[in-house]
Chain A
Amino acid sequence: MKVSKCDPRLAKYLIEQYGGADGELAAALRYLNQRYTIPDKVIGLLTDIGTEEFAHLEMIATMVYKLTKDATVEQMEAAGLGGHLVDHGFDLYYHNAAGNPFTVACLTAKGDPIANLYEDIAAEEKARATYQWLIDITDDADIQDGLRFLREREVIHALRFREAVEMLKGYQEEKKVF
């Protein structure tokens, strides 16, 4: 994970995908929690995507870490991270860009595979939208590369979840008739 500029200001925005409602932590917890009760043929997909989200969480953490680790107190304050510094120092913390701590209230489990998968699809689309705003607000070329990669992953995940819905609808069985 490469970061070219020392700019703690970006860390304040990127933390949205660390501890925000549509961030990578929320995604990982949502999918891995749904695995236990989803029909067997979809467990593999939820496991794989849920685990991938933890890898993405590490990518975001790496960006935040690299952007802030050598910042001065003054730079942190100028970046709007004064409040963060007072509470957490240079530690990372699971909160969103506005500083609100992570809560599982942002995810649901409805005990219905179709309802759960549609929540997952929506989560991927919302995360994609967040990455778009992050790319818009970021002027670091290396960070933009990383964010574009993560955004495209949301596109693929959304398709896989929609395919999972089709599997539960019986789409594949129908297709095999041809």
Chain B
Amino acid sequence: MSTGLPKEYYRLLEELQTVDFVLLELSLYLDTHPDDPQAIAQVQQFYLRRQGLVQQFETQFGPLQEYAHSPTVMGWPWAEMPWPWQV
């Protein structure tokens, strides 16, 4: 796999990373603060943002998740995409 991924690939991935990090941080917080309604509302808000981003990324660049948990439209691109440690 050679270099030269479009800027959009990195932009979307970084956006996704940002949203995922907020969700991760809130998850750990809720593990010890399950009674904080404000944090739960924030999780729901970021969950929806994440869904939109995942759909956008997967439509353009292929699956993010293994075991066919991501939609497979054409062929089997899983082994053809660059891996996170390669980009």
Contacts and interface: CB of A to CB of B under 8 A. Distances in A.
A58 B25 contact: no
Interface stretch (A41-49, A73-81, A94-102): A41-49
A171 to B, nearest CB: 10
Interface in A54-73: 58, 61-62, 65-66
B31 interface: yes
Contacts of A137: none
Given A52-B24, A156-B25, A44 B85 contact: no
Interface string B1-45: 000000000000000000000001101110110000000000000
B32 A160 contact: yes
B28 A49 contact: yes
A115 interface: no
Contacts of A122: none
Interface in A87-105: none
Nearest to B35: A172
Contacts, number: 30
B75 interface: no
A46 to B, nearest CB: 9
Contacts of A61: 85
Q: Secondary structure at chain B's binding surface: helix, strand, loop or mixed? A: helix
A48 B84 CA distance: 21
Contact of B28 (A1, A45, A62, A167): A45
A65 B31 CA distance: 33
Interface in A141-178: 156-157, 160, 163-164, 167
B28 A164 contact: no
A52 B84 CA distance: 16
B85 A48 contact: no
A1 B84 contact: yes
26 contacts: A1-B84, A1-B85, A44-B31, A45-B28, A45-B31, A45-B32, A48-B24, A48-B27, A48-B28, A48-B31, A49-B28, A52-B24, A52-B28, A61-B85, A62-B84, A62-B85, A65-B85, A156-B25, A156-B28, A157-B28, A160-B29, A160-B31, A160-B32, A163-B32, A164-B32, A167-B32
